[in-house]
Amino acid sequence: MASYQLAAIQELQNNPLDQALSFSTGGNPAQLVQWIANSKAKEAFALAKHDNARADRYREAVTRIEQVIADITGKSFHFNMSDDPLKVAALIDDVEVELDVLPDGLKSIISWVADLLMRMDRIPWVDDIPVLERPFFLFLDEIEVHLHPAWQRKVLPTVQGLFPNAQVFISTHSPFIIASADDAWIYPLYEVEPGQGTVVGTPLSSMVGNSYSTVLREALGIDEEFAPQVEEQLDVFYELRDAVLAGTEQIEALQHKGDELRRLGEEVAAIVIPELRQVERRLAEPCEGGAA
């Protein structure tokens, strides 16, 4: 999504399905801005003729885009059109912002949501089923790109609510997207060997209600809870623990490593301290036969 210098209000002439299946060239910023300007101009013309029903129809698609963005970001959002100069800008919490300087995450959301609704609005349907109620296939490739985790949590439920009859196919690496997929099947993909393609793992039913740590473990195959350097030190700690209990290492080495880990943070300390206490208790227990 980007700013575009409007020259006039003019109808779009290209096919509404042109490049619709392209993940890289599907969105056309100039076309999107032109369509938004056209919709707002037609709304104004209809209102000038006191044709409120027609004005509502022209307003609906743009309003839906604005509402989706507001629902995901938690901020009021509107497209603001001015006539001198002729341009379209964003109005966020009543502050006008040029499209060029919007955050990348917001540009990403606007690009594909606006592109989708624009195409559906322009298609000459053979019946009167409302656009948002139509059954169709929607393919979304990594919709979490550029999105803050707080927005990742909301984007899919918003899309599912907007298009209740659409069948949505999503590729994602985000546990926040996976955990928010309601009434869905999740197909993990695993690489066989570098450059040898992937295989499909056992399908998982919707994971709504599961914690993000569960999603990371079961859907993405990530068991670790800490950064790699912390996990490595914890592995050393556990090796020392086993060696101390086996009598091949002194407890002072384990205590020293435990002190290092405790300084990394409260969560690591909550793991290390009970382990140390348990080892100390076991070493203090009398040996078989009553010897201390």
Tell whether the model's pLDDT for residue 225 goes beyond 70: yes
Which of 112-116, 141-145, 162-166 is most confident?
162-166
The contacts of residue 61 (CB under 8 Å, 6+ apart) are 39, 117, 118, 120, 121, 131
E strand or H helix at 95: strand 95-97
pLDDT of residue 259: 92
Lowest-confidence region among 20-34, 48-62, 266-280: 20-34
The percentage of residues in the chain with a pLDDT greater than 90, rounded to a whole number, is 30
Lowest-confidence region among 15-19, 70-74, 153-157, 209-213: 15-19
pLDDT band at residue 291, thresholds of 50, 70 and 90? very low
Tell whether the model's pLDDT for residue 190 goes beyond 90: no
Tell whether the model's pLDDT for residue 183 goes beyond 50: yes
Tell whether the model's pLDDT for residue 38 goes beyond 50: yes
pLDDT of residue 130: 83
Adjacent-strand bridge partners of 205: 185
Mean pLDDT of the chain: 85
pLDDT band at residue 292, thresholds of 50, 70 and 90? very low
With beta carbons less than 8 A apart as the criterion, state whether 155 and 72 touch: yes
Burial of residue 177, with CB atoms counted within 10 A of its CB: 0-12 exposed, 13-18 middle, 19 or more buried: buried
Domains of the chain: 1-124 (no CATH), 132-223 (3.40.50.300), 228-283 (no CATH)
- Mean pLDDT for 85-101 is 88
pLDDT of residue 25: 57
The percentage of residues in the chain with a pLDDT greater than 70, rounded to a whole number, is 91
